[in-house]
Chains A and B, each alone.
Chain A
Amino acid sequence: MIEIDAISKRYDGVPVVDNVSMVIEPRTVTVVVGTSGSGKTTLIRMINRLVEASEGAIRLDGEDNRSIPGYELRRRIGYAIQGHGLFPHRTVAQNIATVPGLLGWKKARIDAKVEELLTLFQLEPKTFGPRYPHELSGGQQQRVGVARALAAEPNVLLMDEPFGALDPIIRAKAQEDLLAIQKHFGTTIVLVTHDMNEAFHLADKIAVMDKGGVVQYGPPAELVRSPATPFVETLIGDAERPFRLLSIAKTGAAAEPGDADGAPISEDRSQQEALADLIWSGRDALPVISKNGVPMGRVTLDAILKRAARPR
């Protein structure tokens, strides 16, 4: 659990982050969104003390993050940034081994960890371990960057626009991978982005920042249903609202008893995908199946449209 308690950061008296308080639950993905200059990057950099707060406190599992030196704190918190920041003079394996090395792990343990992570990120350890970063593609570099951040098995992973430099296809894949990894390790992830689609796709909770303050902090659906300020409304976008709602709900939740014809849809696809399928195939209802392929009923166009309507 990360407790952010009335934290502020001022540069020459000008507040960049102004009196922000929020609690981040363990094993969740929290996405901080906002325009550039809203203070979102500064906020997460205060969690691992790359920026020292002017006021307030941040506690990790109840322990003040200033109770140990900054560098020791940072070894316990994963950190991944835009443009990956890989060390160009170290091989992929050496890059991933950075924090375990700093922590003084035994060589065998480090090697095992590197191999595990490379395999997890679908990079063949024998092929990719000895390569230098400049020999990898952009998507591979980004994966190594995240692998490096996870190498010391941190409870918390901070990510600052980690997918900002990737093209849309690789970015979508990287987002899927991240969710899978998060489930695998149960890591608490705090991610900064200005891409609302990314935020809705990844977040358990979204914090919207504007001019140094958090204007709304809650589950994605809540932001769509009751935006706290006009700024949040603008950020979500009028034309996007219904689709945002559908994008964060699973098809299974809209399933009802009954039959339908044609190709089925899996219960864990989003309702937005179900809608797209319905429109594209010109049907009124789709059969829904569970993850193991057991029929669960159907989902109708009507039901989906109702769910996309403004909540009363």
Chain B
Amino acid sequence: MCQHGPGAQASGFFIGGESLIGRDGLRVRFDKLGIVIALLAAYGALWSSFATLKPNRIVQGKAGSMLDSLPAWAGWALIGVLVVAIAAALFRASPWIKLIAAVAALAALTLSIGYAATFLTPAGNTYARVSPASGFWILLFAFALLAADAITRLDPPPGMRVLFLLLAAVAIGALLMSGSWNGLSIMKEYSGRADVFWVEAGKHVELALGSLFAAVLVGLPLGILCHRVAPLRDGVLNTLNLVQTIPSIALFGVLIAPLGWIATNVPGAAAIGIRGIGVAPAFVALFLYSLLPVVANTVVGLAGVPRAANDAARGIGMTGRQRLFKIEFPLALPVILTAIRIVLVQNIGMATIAALIGGGGFGVFVFQGIGQTAMDLVLLGAVPTVVLAFASAVVLDALIEMNSLVPNGARSA
């Protein structure tokens, strides 16, 4: 118990020193997420297969490892890149290094899978299909995780995030244009339907953006009205809440009847595109779903405007309209933009369901693929949907952040 002697103090130092080295040493050397990524990558590389070769598009195929799927030099080169990237993930290093390692690994993976397709497809065989197997997806996930972690740690300003997104888009675009993926099954599905793909893509964006636009056009004034006329608020919000509980396919379906009736009975309605099935009910349904977030956030945003700001505006003699446009609206903007982000992401996802009632969109490929058990066709619909939703989320998040960063004085000046 007595620890006054110099010996005891020395031993105290020794213990302290060792634990310092031991604990900090571990912290300096290894990154916990790096360990997770390394384990995932090892599982993806060693115990799962990299690419699957199928005799035709719907039968089960034969899966092979990286070295089976690629010529020896390419296989080893890929493994080399992955090992270096894993090392970068494993050790504590600057997020930039990790980001570069992750991007390098992702690039190597995407190039290799395209090359594997060319390598595996027997010459002249147009039926055989090569698609990525589970190992590829696991590796892709592992390094996307590393990239996400690096970007999270870098905490880039909104403009930089959009720049990252643009760079990624350019890289993916270049990859697709270069034709190095043309041997892959998903691209074969695409090349057979290139025209339809872009038509459906157009419809998808039209549905998602158009319904958002309509919802903002109606929802903003409605939100302002609800803010000013308190008795209206609960009724409107509760009704819109109820709409949200109806499953999307049911709402799409239910709208077929009234719209069909309008098309046949209202002169001119059919001419402007209103029909019982097709785009119209999907558009109306997405519009109805979008109203709640827009109206609710407008109300919340306006209610959140500080009393003092409003009082001051009144005090210097602003009219009701001036107050709305110069004070309340700019202050509520970030909250309203958040609603637009929610709605846009939600609509891009839900627009896939429009395909069930003939509304078009990427859902066409998803449901066709499910019907034909052609999973590459499902991917052709699902991947662009996810990419679109992700990109809009990044852009709108950046927009929201910019708008909450700009001081209000600077904006009105």
Contacts and interface: CB of A to CB of B under 8 A. Distances in A.
B394 to A, nearest CB: 35
B43 to A, nearest CB: 37
Chain A interface extent, by class? under 10
Interface in A45-101: 54-55, 57, 59, 62-64
A62 B16 contact: no
A55 B15 CA distance: 11
B1 A63 contact: yes
B159 interface: no
B1 A64 contact: yes
Chain B interface extent, by class? under 10
Contact of B12 (A55, A59, A62, A63): A55
A104 B173 CA distance: 67
Contacts of B3: 5, 57, 64
Nearest to B12: A55
Nearest to A59: B1
A55 B11 CA distance: 12
A54 B16 contact: yes
Contact of A55 (B1, B4, B16): B16
B11 to A, nearest CB: 12
Interface string B158-184: 000000000000000000000000000
Contacts of B1: 59, 62-64
Nearest to A67: B1
A62 B2 CA distance: 9
Nearest to A64: B1
Interface in B1-47: 1, 3-4, 12, 16
Interface string A21-40: 00000000000000000000
A81 to B, nearest CB: 29
Contacts of A54: 16
A64 B2 CA distance: 9
B16 to A, nearest CB: 7
Nearest to B13: A55
Interface in A1-35: 5
B20 to A, nearest CB: 10
Nearest to A62: B1
Contacts of B16: 54-55
A208 B217 CA distance: 65
A57 B3 CA distance: 8
Interface of A: 5, 54-55, 57, 59, 62-64
Given A63-B1, A64-B3, 5 more contacts: A55-B12, A55-B16, A57-B3, A59-B1, A62-B1
11 contacts: A5-B3, A5-B4, A54-B16, A55-B12, A55-B16, A57-B3, A59-B1, A62-B1, A63-B1, A64-B1, A64-B3
